[in-house]
Amino acid sequence: MKHVDFGSLESLCAHLKKSNDLTKAVFQGLDLTLVVDELKGATLKNNILLGCKCNPAVMALLDEPLVFPRLPDLPFDPYRGELYTPDELLGHYRPGEPASYDETVDGKTYNQFVSQGKAEAMDIMVTLARRLHDHAITDALQEFLIGKKVVAIMGGHSMLRDDPNYLEVARLGRDLAKARFLPTSGGGPGAMEATHVGAWFAQRPDSELVDAVSMLAKAPLYKPKDKWLDTTFAVKAKYPLTSETACMSLGIPTWLYGHEPPTGFATHIAKYFANSVREDGLLAIAKNGVIFSPGSAGTIQEIFQDATQNHYEVFGHPSPMIFFGEQFWTQEKPIYPLLHQLADGKTYQKHLSITDNRKSIIDTIVAFDAAQS
C-alpha cells in the first residue's frame, strides 16, 4: 500500500466521508487541531506529518507517526500541498503603491532569497527549506497534471506587450485552451505572460483580448514592476475570469529570476527556487508538444534541452517541437535549419515543424494527441 498525501483539510475530510482508513496517510502543512473530531475512529498507522500544527489531542490519535517539524522564520510553506494561485502570491499588492509588493508572499520570499545569498546560500537550514518546498511543489504539480494535456509555449521574457508577437502568442494560448489543452509557460513576463493572457480570454471574443493587450501595453516591459502589475490588476478587474476550467493555464516561474514578477493571469503557478528543476521539469511535462515563439538565449537553451529529451526519447516517444515565426527562426536566429540537420535520421525529426500559422500549430498538436490515443 503506497502513501496517500493530503494537502488540504478539504481533501482530508472528503476522504473521511468515504473511508476511515488513513493508513500510510501523509499530511502536508495541515492544522490538524481543526479536525480532531473527524479523525477520531479513523485508522491512523504509519503516518507522516509534514509541518503540521498539532496538539496533544491529535497526537494521542496517532500511532508513532514520523514528524517533520515546522521550520521557523519563513515567508513560504516548505510543506505546502497545493500549487500557488496569483492571489496567493500577489494578493497583498495594492495598485498605485509600489512598496506593497514587498508585503506579498512573492515579494517577501524573493527578498529573503536575495538576503540569504540567492542560489549560492550556504546555510544548511536555508537550503533544506528550499529543497523541501520544491519537492512539495513537484508533488502538487504531479497531482494537478493528472488527466491534463500539457502544451508549453516558450519565448522571450523581454517581449514587449506592444510587440505584435505578444498578441499572436496570446491568441495561440487562447486557441490551445479552447482546444482543451493546458497552456503552460515559464510563468514570467513577455511571451510567457502572453500565453496566460490568451488562456484567460478563452471564452471571450477577440475584440476583448485586443482591448486587454492594449491596456497592458501601457506598461510594455516588466520594469518598473509596479506599473506592469498595475495594468495586470486593471485588466483582471475589467475582464474577470469566466471559468477556471475552460481558461486554465499553468505557469512555472522561479525565484532565481524573482526580479521578474510572476504572471497574474495563470490560474495555477508552480514556483520553484531551483531553476534547473523548473527548466527541465517544464519541458518534461509538455508531452503534447512545445511551441517556441521568438526568444533569445534562454529560449534557445530550452530548444536544445527539449531536443535532447526527444533525441533520447526520455519519455518513451518524441513530441512536437513547433517553431512559431519562420523569419525569426530561419534568419534572425537560424536555429531551425541547424536543429533539422542535427535530427537527421532520428525519429523526432518528423515532429519538427515551423510556421506562422496558428491553425497549423493547433492542427499539429491535435493530430499528435489523436495518434497517441
pLDDT digits (tens, 9 = 90+) for 32-56: 999 999 999 999 999 999 999 999 9
Check whether residue 48 and residue 103 sit in a common domain.
Answer: no
> How many CA atoms, within 13 angstroms, populate the side-chain half-sphere of residue 218?
14
Check whether residue 273 and residue 321 sit in a common domain.
Answer: yes
- Averaged pLDDT for residues 83-111: 97
Query: Are residues 151 and 291 in contact, defined by beta-carbon separation less than 8 angstroms?
Result: yes
pLDDT level of residue 122 (50, 70, 90 thresholds): very high
Element (H, E) at 27: strand 25-28
The string of pLDDT tens digits covering residues 126-162 is 999 999 999 999 999 999 999 999 999 999 999 999 9
| Residue 191, φ and ψ in degrees, nearest 5 | -60, -30
Query: Are residues 263 and 270 in contact, defined by beta-carbon separation less than 8 angstroms?
Result: no
The string of pLDDT tens digits covering residues 244-285 is 999 999 999 999 999 999 999 999 999 999 999 999 999 999
Q: Could you identify the residue written with the cell 497517441?
A: 372
The rounded distance, in Å, linking the Cα atoms of 101 and 106 is 8
Hey, what's the torsion of the CAs at 73, 75, 76, 77, to 10 degrees? 40
Q: Examine the pLDDT at 176 and tell me if it is beyond 80.
A: yes
pLDDT level of residue 216 (50, 70, 90 thresholds): very high
Question: What 3-state DSSP class applies to 325?
Answer: coil
pLDDT level of residue 296 (50, 70, 90 thresholds): very high
Residue 102 has a pLDDT of: 97
Check whether residue 94 and residue 202 sit in a common domain.
Answer: no
**80 within domain boundaries:** no
Check whether residue 202 and residue 295 sit in a common domain.
Answer: yes
Share of the chain above pLDDT 70, in %: 100
Q: What CATH number corresponds to the domain at position 303? A: 3.40.50.450
Query: Are residues 58 and 36 in contact, defined by beta-carbon separation less than 8 angstroms?
Result: yes
The rounded distance, in Å, linking the Cα atoms of 240 and 355 is 32
Which grid cell sits at 254?
522561479
Q: Could you identify the residue written with the cell 531536443?
A: 307
**Cα distances (Å, whole numbers) of residue 319 to 152, 226, 286, 341:** 11, 38, 8, 17
Number of domains the chain is built from:
3
Residue 1 has a pLDDT of: 73
The string of pLDDT tens digits covering residues 326-340 is 999 999 999 999 999
pLDDT level of residue 314 (50, 70, 90 thresholds): very high
Hey, what's the torsion of the CAs at 124, 129, 132, 138, to 10 degrees? -120
Check whether residue 312 and residue 215 sit in a common domain.
Answer: yes
- Averaged pLDDT for residues 115-134: 97
Cis, bond preceding 224 (omega within 30 deg of 0): yes
Range of the structural domain that residue 328 is part of: 148-372
